[in-house]
Amino acid sequence: MKPLGMMKVKVGRLLAGILAILAISCQQDLDFVQESEFENESVYNAEFIPGEYIIELQPTTINFRRGGSYEETQSFMREVSIDLLAEYRIGDENLRHVFGTAVDGFSVKLSERELEMMRRDPRVKNIHQDEVIAHNRGNGNGGGNGGTRGGPKNQEPSEPEPAPAPEEPADEPSPSDPEDPNNGTPEEPESPGSDEPKNEDPKEEPKDESKEEEPYSGPSTQEIPWGIQRVGGFKKYAGNNVAFVLDTGIELDHPDLNVNVQLGRKIVPDDISTTLSDLHSHGTHVAGIIGAIDNHFGVVGVAAGVAVVPVKIMGDDGRGRVSWAIAGVDYVASVGKPGDVANLSIGASANTTFDNAVINASNKGIWFVTSAGNNAADANNYSPARANGPFIQTVSSMDSRDVMANSSNYGNPPIDWAAPGVGIRSTVLKGGYANKNGTSMAAPHVAGLRLLGNIRADGHIKNDKDNTPDPIAHRAD
């Protein structure tokens, strides 16, 4: 029989070992939740553009019959804007974009003296200094943007100007390496037999290297990303509506996307980008979450196969302007129809004209889905996240355990839903696939759901920073 002292030592060592294992297990659980801190996400200070302004006019200023084409409205508003500026001897070379459907107004370069004259004009409703909006490429910064849990809902909002510029998605592949070597998966090579492509006759047309021609009978490598599963799974879209993606464009020839090029619009000036296609990857990733095609490869989106429409409001470097975003909303308001969805995975400082454009466009029956932002702050301090209306949905971000992402903005209102936004796999450039993080990825889940019909809550998010948990979006049927 062993001495009692030796037995106590062995039992003590055994207990210590068990406790160590439990500690490691708990740490692994903690690390899993910490995925929501968004590695590589950056938050920049607001960047206002010197001498560049957005002018919103009073509705009574414009007197012409509404309902014309987008081009007709643009032409008329340009004439109106040039005439107004001429009264102050401001040359039309200073005029940038004009708006005439969602809001009436224009963007323009002004001196301080000219700005003061415009402020005194009774025809002017609002003036905002134009601001940069930007997507992050991923620079290795740490996680949670300094946010803390349990922030009070009714705290005093901060001034818009010093607010950090929102909506910086985390794992953005750079244009030089868009497929993300760690996560991206190149498009699989052609195999004998494949899906019949849209608008092609396999008996008459030659084989297209990016589309399949015949029903595929081989093994499938298509992945249903966890986010798609969490919101109720995918469904092949059979309706007549489209999804507008106001972003960096969409890769026009991605084999896993049904891109409506004819309805697309390049808003950015030619000196910023000369192509409608995406050369950055953010917009392509968003489009795949909404509607990647149900086939035998890649990923599948919520409303699988829906036509995605690029509205390019940001340059190939992932940078844009609020005025370009408003111009994009104005375009969607002109050409969109009830039941269409517009995804805005972007953000800026509080801007009344931006909000008004989104609200007015949505009142046409077009769903506008906006990301809450990634500043771990009150979404009421950011546009268009703070915009509210019966056809506007603002979305916060969560991880696969339904825990709110540390970087996600919060606040009810304006947030309507929480959706997956951590480790989201979707389409990127060169026909590839990659994971990204952010409320930019959460919003398109809800956009896809809106195309399919009603949304119901499937539980509530955990660790909501305002202590009022957001409902988790889920397909209703």
Token readout for 475 is 């397909």
Q: What are the residues facing 342 on neighbouring strands?
A: 244, 368
Token readout for 453 is 């019909």
| Catalytic choice (282, 285, 296, 474) | 282
C-alpha 28/C-alpha 133 separation (Å) is: 36
Least Cα distance to 309 among 164, 124, 447, 468 occurs for 447
103 contacts 326 by C-beta, under 8 angstroms: yes
Token readout for 225 is 């990303």
Buried b (16+ CB within 10 A) or exposed e, 137-165: bbeeeebbbebeeebeeeeeeeebeebbb
Catalytic residue flag (residue 440): yes
Name the residue type at position 60.
Answer: T
Catalytic residue flag (residue 474): no
| Catalytic choice (135, 285, 440, 445) | 440
Strands 348-349 and 382-383: antiparallel
Inter-axis angle of helices 282-291 and 439-452, nearest 10? 30
| Catalytic choice (104, 130, 171, 247) | 247
Active site residues: 247, 282, 440
